[in-house]
């Protein structure tokens, strides 16, 4: 059998690693090949487990994980090596005909190395007695630290099983943030024990608009609802942690709050009654900025939410808060007078700064949509720039961190091809190539200011995505383009090369049963 000839498979990794040096030959794995970790600890074994799982699930190859101090011949060695001094998410991978050695200074890097190893194998499911890895030397590390995907579960609720799949998708693209948009006008989706009506009332709407909200007057007459218990949230957060994904919760304030107001009408300026929204858009009724009760409520809610999410960031929304009610509200006007606030933008800023202070006191960093710049930015806030890049530019110039999510490039609720050929979406047009060509550091910024850009994120608003299948369709393959934008070196960006690697990646989507948009792959 030593004379057996193997063809070396091509290396096609998405996102493209920082440095790839191809070599001759292959490493051949069979069921006897040891998969070794250098420490007898559950975390390393779990990381190796993602490889053994893939081997058995895709190719029917049953391998097992053992412990060994150093690399060995005819084995895959996964070694944590702090003395390497690599960045937390970096890894070095060496595949030679003799052995495979994966090393990193932190488990995060090893996890990404395993993702790369998986991509060296055939993209389709097939029964194998041997798996063939191409010989290659890879040194890899991400360009940005915030590589995010957002999911709006307010407009349409997504079941826990799918949320976990979504986290898998984030991880396989070497992304590391899941921004979970948990509250909306159309539904409050997280159990809060102190305020049970938030889910009893706020998680349900009596019906939903049919078709496009701009032109339709027709409703489906069907009650709709759903929420996550705190136990489910913990389960999802643990699932994400094992995949090196940080979950950033978003509790929206002061706007997009109708579901909360329907549950506790005293939190609005007029006292209601309010109804959980049944159509999409921006609504005038928002939290009252004058009443102390509003702050008491929000601090209570935040106090319950914070311990569920161990990550350092807490997203407070902050977008699209009409000032209509505040202008008429005696409580809001009294607050403005007392605090010496010149206008309602400053009142919003007061609101957000109070919440930031509370979060900071509890060890959390606040992040919000770029409207939090209006009326004065909270002292430590990170800005998520969605109305173009201006918010991110302003934040970075003021030496605040920013995450770029400009609509033109990062809104995956936009059409990805000619709308006439596509199922109904909100509007816009953001084809795969456009996402790929996005540059997160705006040219307006100096090199120093550019350092405040933490990364970028794809946003998935679900007004027009009722099911997980639709979410997948809007997300794939655009997530791969964004992953490369935030992971790979700027200089290696090349759309044709990306598309040639994607030919294999979409086979992987097929094997995983992912419902992706095929327009670029026919």
Cα distance between residue 194 and residue 300, in whole Å: 8
* C-beta atoms surrounding 390 within 10 Å: 14
Cα distance between residue 226 and residue 414, in whole Å: 25
In whole angstroms, the minimum distance from the beta carbon of 206 to ligand NAG comes to: 20
Burial 241-275 (b: 16+ CB within 10 A, else e): eebbbbbbbbbbbbbbbbbbbbbbeebbbeeeebe
In whole angstroms, the minimum distance from the beta carbon of 455 to ligand NAG comes to: 17
In whole angstroms, the minimum distance from the beta carbon of 461 to ligand NAG comes to: 3
The candidate with the shortest Cα–Cα distance to 511, out of 47, 113, 54, is 54
- Report the residue number, 227 or 461, with the smaller CB distance to ligand NAG: 461
Which helix (H) or strand (E) covers residue 465, if one does? none
In whole angstroms, the minimum distance from the beta carbon of 481 to ligand NAG comes to: 19
- DSSP string across 113-164: HHHHHHHTS-SS----S-EEEEEEEEEE--S-SEEEEEEETTTS---HHHHH
Peptide bond into 254 cis (omega under 30): yes
- Report the residue number, 332 or 426, with the smaller CB distance to ligand NAG: 426
Residues 6 or more apart from 83 whose CB is under 8 A from it? none
- Report the residue number, 386 or 452, with the smaller CB distance to ligand NAG: 386
In whole angstroms, the minimum distance from the beta carbon of 463 to ligand NAG comes to: 6
- Report the residue number, 28 or 213, with the smaller CB distance to ligand NAG: 213
The candidate with the shortest Cα–Cα distance to 170, out of 499, 471, 497, 504, is 471
In whole angstroms, the minimum distance from the beta carbon of 185 to ligand NAG comes to: 8
**Contact, 464 vs 416, CB < 8 A?**
no
Cα distance between residue 253 and residue 198, in whole Å: 15
- Report the residue number, 310 or 427, with the smaller CB distance to ligand NAG: 427
In whole angstroms, the minimum distance from the beta carbon of 411 to ligand NAG comes to: 6
- Report the residue number, 309 or 411, with the smaller CB distance to ligand NAG: 411
* C-beta atoms surrounding 34 within 10 Å: 16
- Report the residue number, 107 or 187, with the smaller CB distance to ligand NAG: 187
- Report the residue number, 232 or 319, with the smaller CB distance to ligand NAG: 319
In whole angstroms, the minimum distance from the beta carbon of 364 to ligand NAG comes to: 20
Cα distance between residue 76 and residue 99, in whole Å: 6
- Report the residue number, 60 or 423, with the smaller CB distance to ligand NAG: 423
In whole angstroms, the minimum distance from the beta carbon of 407 to ligand NAG comes to: 7
Cα distance between residue 233 and residue 33, in whole Å: 38
Residue whose Cβ sits closest to ligand NAG = 461
- Report the residue number, 118 or 372, with the smaller CB distance to ligand NAG: 372
- Report the residue number, 413 or 449, with the smaller CB distance to ligand NAG: 413
Burial 167-181 (b: 16+ CB within 10 A, else e): bebbbbbbbbbbbbb
Cα distance between residue 359 and residue 346, in whole Å: 20
Q: Show the DSSP H helices in 404-477 as ranges.
A: 407-410, 432-436, 447-450, 468-475
**Contact, 168 vs 477, CB < 8 A?**
no
In whole angstroms, the minimum distance from the beta carbon of 383 to ligand NAG comes to: 12
In whole angstroms, the minimum distance from the beta carbon of 460 to ligand NAG comes to: 9
Burial 62-91 (b: 16+ CB within 10 A, else e): ebebeeeeebeeebbbbbbeeeeebeebbb
CA distances from 20 to 10, 141, 340 (A): 12, 12, 59
Residues within the interface to ligand NAG (CB under 6 A): 319-320, 369, 386, 411, 413, 426, 461, 463
Q: Which residues pair with 67 in a beta bridge?
A: 37
In whole angstroms, the minimum distance from the beta carbon of 268 to ligand NAG comes to: 19
- Report the residue number, 290 or 368, with the smaller CB distance to ligand NAG: 368
In whole angstroms, the minimum distance from the beta carbon of 212 to ligand NAG comes to: 12
SS3 224: strand
- Report the residue number, 155 or 335, with the smaller CB distance to ligand NAG: 155
């Amino acid at each position: 059998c030593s004379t057996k000839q193997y063809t070396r498979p091509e290396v096609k990794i998405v996102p493209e690693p920082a440095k790839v040096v191809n070599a001759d030959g292959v490493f051949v794995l069979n069921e006897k090949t040891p998969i070794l970790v250098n420490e007898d600890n559950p975390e390393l074994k779990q990381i190796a487990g993602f490889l053994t799982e893939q081997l058995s699930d895709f190719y029917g190859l049953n391998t097992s994980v053992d412990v060994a101090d150093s690399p060995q011949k005819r084995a895959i060695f996964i070694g944590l090596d702090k003395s390497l001094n690599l960045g937390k998410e970096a890894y070095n991978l060496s595949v030679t005909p003799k052995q495979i050695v994966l090393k990193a200074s932190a488990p995060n890097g090893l996890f990404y190395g395993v993702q790369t190893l998986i991509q060296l194998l055939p993209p389709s499911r097939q029964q194998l007695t041997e798996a063939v890895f191409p010989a290659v030397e890879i040194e890899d590390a991400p360009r940005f630290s915030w590589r995010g995907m957002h999911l709006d579960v307010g407009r349409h609720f997504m079941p826990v099983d799918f949320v976990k799949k979504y986290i898998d998708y984030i991880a396989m693209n070497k992304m590391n943030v899941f921004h979970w948009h948990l509250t909306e006008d159309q539904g409050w989706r997280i159990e809060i024990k102190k305020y049970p009506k938030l889910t009893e009332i706020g998680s349900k709407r009596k019906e939903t608009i049919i078709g496009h909200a701009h032109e339709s007057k027709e409703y489906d007459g069907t009650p709709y609802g759903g929420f996550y218990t705190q136990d489910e949230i913990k389960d999802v957060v643990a699932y994400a942690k094992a995949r090196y994904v940080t979950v950033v919760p978003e509790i929206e304030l002061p706007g997009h709050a109708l579901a909360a107001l329907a549950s506790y009408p005293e939190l609005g300026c007029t006292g209601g009654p309010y109804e959980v929204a049944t159509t999409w858009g921006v609504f005038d009724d928002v939290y009252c900025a004058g009443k102390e009760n509003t702050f008491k409520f929000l601090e209570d809610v935040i106090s319950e939410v914070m311990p569920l999410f161990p990550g350092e960031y807490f997203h407070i929304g902050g977008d699209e808060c009409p000032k209509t009610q505040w202008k008429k509200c005696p409580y809001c006007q009294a607050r403005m007078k007392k605090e010496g606030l010149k206008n309602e933008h400053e009142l919003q800023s007061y609101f957000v700064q109070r919440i930031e202070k509370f979060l900071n006191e509890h060890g959390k960093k606040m992040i919000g949509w770029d409207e939090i710049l209006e009326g004065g930015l909270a002292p430590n806030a990170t800005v998520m720039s969605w109305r173009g890049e201006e918010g991110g530019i302003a934040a970075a110039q003021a030496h605040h961190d920013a995450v770029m999510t400009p609509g033109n490039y990062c809104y995956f609720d936009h059409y990805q091809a000619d709308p006439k050929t596509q199922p109904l979406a909100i509007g816009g047009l953001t084809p795969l190539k456009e996402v790929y060509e996005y540059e997160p550091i705006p040219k307006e910024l100096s090199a120093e200011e550019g350092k405040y850009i933490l990364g970028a994120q794809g946003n998935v608003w679900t007004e027009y995505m009722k099911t997980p299948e639709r979410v997948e369709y809007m997300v794939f393959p655009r997530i791969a383009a964004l992953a490369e934008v935030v992971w790979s070196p700027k200089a290696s960006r090349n759309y044709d090369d990306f598309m040639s690697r994607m030919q294999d990646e979409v086979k992987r989507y097929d094997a995983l049963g992912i419902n992706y948009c095929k327009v670029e792959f026919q």
